[in-house]
């Protein structure tokens, strides 16, 4: 794994400008991603994970979403300053994304072969026969059986797991340095999830690409990731190596998330065991508190937590947390 970051995000702010106010969905996110590394981005639904990914890809939804501040450095180049035409050349070749639902990612009126060939042709100009050969190789690379026959099929003729593999084949066809995987296992059953995660790890080992893996599942984080960033209400509140986060989480929100994961030991819920929950609701992104955003749900809250947002405290060489209670290294 290289120490040089291939992707560096600095103080990213992406807001929705609505008639009734401004929704600060991504409000000061910073992290880095090294070559050959898997960084997990974890948090509750609505915390800003997917919008962070769409901000990096410059694919924000229409209707008021806008990145108002920050830098996204891809190999040292701030791609937020690139024109739309230049971004179309960057997407797929240097940075790609696998969305949550493959059914909405694939066009139902075009065959799998059409969609895969289009992705390959954006990267290179070659005779039709060579493009077909490369498309077959791409499907074989993601372990799709009988790839020659699959090229003529349409998305509705494939299972969810097969479609997710096709989306993955399209995403890596341009040989990008960074792959963003936005909850790619959500729509898959447990056994297919495991197969897909193993496939991603193998592809990463073969290509050396860096992966930003967005999920809400700490089990997936433990299997896939080298480091993990925990996001809450538009900000990253803790970031560090996976083992350190699991063994010694510092932020109360991180500890609450890990505690809410069902345990394999002890009585299960409903038979004497209790499933830990996080009381309360996240704050409105349209009316954020001046202090710590987790203060309203935190069992350790103090007055200073309500008065001001805590600074980022460095706990170790790669371990940081935004909390007044954390003791710096």
pLDDT tens-digit readout, 148-186: 999 999 999 998 888 988 998 999 888 899 999 998 887
Q: How many domains does the chain have?
A: 2
**pLDDT exceeds 90 at position 102:** no
Alpha-carbon gap, residue 321 to 316, rounded angstroms: 10
Summarize pLDDT for 223-242 with one digit per residue, the tens.
Answer: 899 999 999 999 999 999 99
Asked whether residue 217 falls in the same domain as residue 271, the answer is: yes
Does the pLDDT value for residue 187 go beyond 80?
no
Residue 113 pLDDT: 93
Tokens at residue 264, please? 């394999």
> pLDDT at residue 1 above 70?
no
Q: Do residues 11 and 73 share a domain? A: yes
Q: Are residues 187 and 68 in the same domain?
A: yes
The 10s digit of each residue's pLDDT in 19-37 is 899 999 999 999 999 999 9
57 domain residue, yes or no: yes
Structure confidence at residue 108 (pLDDT):
92
**Same domain for 188 and 165:** no
Which of 156, 160, 137, 161 has the alpha carbon at shortest distance from 148? 137
Is 323 within a domain? no
56 lies in the same domain as 129: no
Q: Could you tell me which residues come within 8 angstroms of residue 81 by beta carbon, excluding any fewer than 6 positions away?
A: none
Q: How confident is the model at residue 72 (pLDDT cuts 50, 70, 90)?
A: very high
Do 184 and 139 reside in the same domain of the chain? no
Helix (H) or strand (E) holding 78: strand 77-78
Whether residue 301 lies inside any domain: the answer is: no
Residues 239 and 277 both lie in one domain: yes
Give 37's DSSP letter. -
Does residue 221 share a domain with residue 142?
A: no
Q: Are residues 165 and 190 in the same domain?
A: no
Q: How confident is the model at residue 325 (pLDDT cuts 50, 70, 90)?
A: very high
**Is a pLDDT exceeding 90 seen at residue 81?**
yes
User: DSSP readout, 246-291?
Assistant: HHS--SHHHHHHHHTSPPSSSPPBTTTB------S-PPPTTS--SS
Of 60, 150, 131, nearest in space to 97 by CA:
60
Range of the domain at 156: 106-175
Q: Assess whether 139 and 225 both reside in one domain.
A: no
**Within a domain: residue 305?**
no
Are residues 64 and 185 located together in one domain of the fold?
Answer: yes
pLDDT, position 143 = 87
Residues 206 and 76 in one domain: yes
303-328: b (≥16 Cβ within 10 Å) or e: eebeeebbebbebeeebbbbbbbbee
Tokens representing 152 are 């003529």
């Amino acid at each position: 794994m290289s120490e040089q970051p291939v992707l560096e995000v600095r103080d990213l702010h992406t807001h929705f400008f609505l008639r009734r106010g401004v929704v600060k969905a991504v409000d000061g996110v910073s992290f880095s991603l090294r070559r050959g590394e898997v960084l997990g981005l974890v948090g509750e639904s609505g915390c800003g994970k997917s919008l962070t990914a769409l901000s990096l890809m410059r694919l924000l939804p229409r209707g008021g979403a806008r990145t108002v501040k920050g830098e996204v450095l891809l190999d040292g180049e701030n791609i937020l300053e690139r024109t739309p035409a230049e971004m179309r050349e960057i997407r797929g070749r240097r940075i790609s994304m696998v969305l949550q639902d493959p059914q909405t990612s694939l066009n139902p009126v075009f065959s799998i072969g059409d969609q895969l060939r289009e992705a390959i042709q954006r990267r290179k100009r070659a005779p039709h026969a060579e493009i077909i050969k490369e498309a077959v190789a791409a499907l074989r690379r993601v372990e799709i059986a009988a790839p020659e026959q699959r090229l003529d099929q349409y998305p509705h003729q494939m299972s969810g797991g097969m479609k997710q593999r096709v989306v993955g084949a399209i995403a890596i066809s341009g040989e990008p340095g960074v792959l963003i995987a936005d909850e790619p296992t959500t729509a898959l059953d447990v056994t297919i999830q495991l197969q897909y995660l193993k496939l991603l790890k193998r592809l990463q080992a073969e290509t050396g690409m860096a992966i930003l893996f967005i999920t809400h599942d700490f089990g997936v984080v433990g299997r896939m990731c080298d480091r993990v960033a925990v996001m809450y209400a538009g900000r990253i509140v803790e970031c560090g190596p996976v083992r350190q986060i699991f063994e010694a989480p510092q932020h109360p929100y991180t500890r609450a998330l890990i505690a809410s994961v069902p345990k394999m030991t002890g009585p299960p819920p409903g038979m004497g065991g209790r499933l830990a929950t996080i009381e309360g609701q996240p704050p409105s992104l349209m009316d954020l508190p001046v202090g710590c955003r987790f203060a309203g749900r935190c069992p350790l809250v103090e007055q200073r937590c309500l008065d001001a947002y805590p600074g980022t405290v460095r706990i170790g060489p790669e371990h940081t947390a935004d909390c007044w209670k954390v003791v710096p290294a």
